[in-house]
């Protein structure tokens, strides 16, 4: 809101003087003089958004001020009195009364020398910042509030109704996120942003979803639509990438910078984190590890190719193989259990499953050499039953074998929280 208190005698388009808002301006002005204290760098004002500090260099006791401008805020400096020099990076500029300087965020250290009074304005540090993490899946959407230590403070789940338009779904999800903040007593000002994970091909730069077969979205301006309801910065990414980020931040991959995560559910998703960042190649869309071919001219895959990893190791593919030999629809748990109890036909199915997954795993390790490979999704419940034969296989078949530094292979630790925490860590 701007109130006009003086108009320099100018007139509007109609040739008349423009309205002044003196009464309104007076009503919101603090006219109590600021008491000068002895300290050289007192606080002048604080609001929800900005902090203003007073700089006083007397040229005797205080001749020089050293400041630092982090990524979190710019520094805006207004010289009220005096003169001197301001130095930032390679640049030195002299100043006098009335000059102002804007040092952009992340500029690093700067110095002010001379005799002057100045106001230094920065963005106020948020108290206990919170991030919103949204994990849109094919069946449900997880919404959570995550603190700076990657701890999930509160969450809720919304069912996904694909009969709703994307815009309608986004509205519902965003409103649920706002309600969650309200219920936790967290002001929107405390929220530093919202990260959103979506299945499908994501254009992270443009903030849109190009295509998602799971939720039947095509060309959805996700960031723009969410922005209509959530007045905070927004970032988006593929949900398998978010799950990997979540495990990297707070789960099995904590302390690791190079992580590959295979999310095995109805399909097989893959997330690759290199140097702590999502690897997404040069263009749009991330890695599609589930669609590496492990059997030439093999089984048909949902993507249209033949012999993809997904066609052999998804939960659906495993269930189909088991049904063919047992005549029943069995869960992965039941299949592995019965196999270990001596059901020969299911034992063969389970062994073939481990062989195929092992082939994919060896390929992943040979290509990326990560610190850890994490298995997430509904297959994560199989634990050591699946992990120990996979580790054997990787040790036997990876290039370099026991002479190479092979990655750890672990199950995901966070379950459904991984996607929410990972989405939040996009901010
Ligand atoms: Zn495929």
The answer to whether position 422 is within a domain reads no
Closest CA to 97 of 80, 112, 85: 80
289 Cα–ligand 1 center, Å: 9
Indicate whether 293 and 369 sit together in one domain.
yes
6 and 79 fall within a common domain: no
**Do residues 137 and 96 both lie within one domain?**
no
Query: In this structure, what CATH number is given to the domain that contains residue 323?
Result: 3.30.420.40
Give the residues of the chain that fall short of pLDDT 50.
37-40
Same-domain pairing of 272 and 384: yes
Do residues 103 and 135 share a domain?
Answer: no
In angstroms, rounded to a whole number, what is the distance separating the alpha carbons of residues 64 and 113? 4
> Are 8 and 49 within one domain?
no
Q: How far is the CA of 270 from the centre of ligand 1 (A)?
A: 12
CA of 244 to the centre of ligand 1 (A): 20
Domain-located, residue 416: no
Residue 155, exposed/middle/buried by CB under 10 A (0-12, 13-18, 19+)?
middle
Residue that terminates a domain, selected from 123, 155, 175 = 123
The Å distance, Cα 380 to ligand 1 centre, comes to 21
pLDDT for 36: 52
Distance 204 CA to ligand 1 centre (A): 23
In a domain, 424, yes or no: no
- Give buried/exposed letters for 98-134 (b at 16+ CB in 10 A, else e): eeebebeeebeebebbbebbbbbbbebebeebbbbbb
- The whole-angstrom separation of Cα 244 and Cα 426 is 12
CA of 276 from ligand 1 middle (Å) equals 27
- When divided into structural domains, the chain yields a total of 4
Q: Do 227 and 316 belong to one domain?
A: no
Q: What is the Å distance from ligand 1's center to 88 Cα?
A: 53
Q: How far is the CA of 351 from the centre of ligand 1 (A)?
A: 22
The predicted pLDDT at position 112 comes to 94
421 found inside a domain: no
Do 160 and 304 lie in a common domain? no
In-domain check, residue 337? yes
Cα 278 to ligand 1 centre (Å): 21
Q: Which domain holds residue 5?
A: 1-32
Centre of ligand 1 from the C-alpha of residue 284, in Å = 18
pTM: 0.68
Tell me: the pLDDT tens digits for 108-151? Answer: 999 999 999 999 999 877 677 899 999 998 788 999 999 988 99
Q: Which of 69, 103, 123 is the last residue of a domain?
A: 123
CA of 161 to the centre of ligand 1 (A): 26
Q: In what order do the strands lie in the sheet with 372-377?
A: 277-278, 268-274, 259-264, 372-377, 408-411
Q: From residue 347, give the alpha-carbon distance in Å to each of 53, 266, 352, 373.
A: 72, 22, 8, 25
Distance (Å) from CA 305 to ligand 1 centroid: 5
Do 262 and 216 share a structural domain? no
- Same domain assignment for residues 214 and 175: yes
CATH number of the CATH domain containing 99: 2.60.120.10
Domain stop point among 107, 123, 139: 123
For residue 420, is it within any domain? Answer: no
Please tell me whether residues 279 and 372 are part of one structural domain: yes
171: in domain: yes
Question: Do residues 53 and 96 share a domain?
Answer: yes
Q: Is residue 75 part of a domain?
A: yes
Residue 251 near residue 418 (C-beta atoms within 8 A): yes
The C-alpha atoms of residue 52 and residue 44 are separated, in whole angstroms, by 5
Distance 217 CA to ligand 1 centre (A): 19
């Amino acid at each position: 809101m701007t109130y006009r208190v003086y108009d320099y005698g100018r007139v509007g388009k109609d040739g008349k003087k423009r309205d002044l808002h003196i009464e309104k301006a007076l009503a919101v002005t603090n006219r109590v003089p600021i008491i000068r204290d002895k300290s050289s760098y007192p606080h002048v004002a604080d609001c929800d958004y900005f902090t203003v500090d007073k700089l006083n260099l007397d040229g005797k006791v205080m001749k020089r001020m050293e400041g630092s401008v982090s990524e979190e805020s710019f520094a805006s400096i207004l010289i009220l009195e005096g003169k001197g020099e301001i130095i930032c990076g390679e640049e030195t500029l002299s100043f006098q009364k009335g000059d102002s300087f804007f040092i952009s965020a992340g500029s690093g250290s700067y110095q002010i020398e001379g005799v002057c009074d100045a106001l230094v304005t920065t963005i106020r540090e948020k108290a206990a910042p919170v991030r919103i993490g949204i994990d849109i899946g094919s069946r449900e959407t997880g919404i959570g509030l995550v603190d700076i230590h990657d701890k999930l403070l509160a969450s809720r789940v919304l069912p996904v109704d694909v009969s709703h338009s994307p815009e309608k779904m986004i509205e519902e999800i965003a409103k649920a996120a706002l309600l969650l903040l309200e219920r936790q007593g967290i002001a929107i000002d405390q929220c530093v942003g919202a990260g959103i994970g979506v299945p499908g091909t994501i254009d992270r730069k443009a903030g849109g979803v190009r295509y998602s077969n799971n939720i039947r979205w095509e060309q959805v301006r996700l960031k723009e639509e969410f922005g209509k309801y959530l007045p905070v910065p927004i970032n988006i990414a593929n949900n398998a990438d978010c799950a990997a980020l979540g495990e990297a931040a707070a789960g099995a991959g904590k302390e690791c910078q190079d992580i590959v995560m295979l999310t095995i559910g109805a399909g097989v998703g893959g997330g690759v984190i290199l140097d702590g960042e999502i690897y997404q190649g040069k263009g749009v869309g991330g890695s599609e590890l589930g669609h590496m071919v492990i059997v030439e001219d093999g089984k048909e895959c949902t993507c249209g190719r033949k012999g993809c990893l997904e066609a052999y190791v998804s939960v659906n593919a495993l269930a189909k193989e088991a049904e063919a030999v047992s005549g029943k629809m069995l869960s992965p748990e039941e299949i592995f259990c019965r196999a270990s109890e001596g059901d020969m036909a299911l034992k063969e199915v389970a062994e073939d499953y481990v062989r195929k997954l092992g082939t994919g795993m060896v390929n992943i390790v040979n290509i990326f050499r990560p610190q850890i490979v994490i298995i997430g999704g509904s297959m994560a419940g199989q634990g050591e039953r699946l992990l120990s034969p996979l580790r054997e296989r990787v040790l036997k078949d990876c290039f370099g074998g026991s002479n190479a530094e092979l990655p750890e292979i672990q199950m995901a630790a966070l379950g459904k929280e991984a996607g929410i925490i990972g989405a939040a860590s996009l901010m």
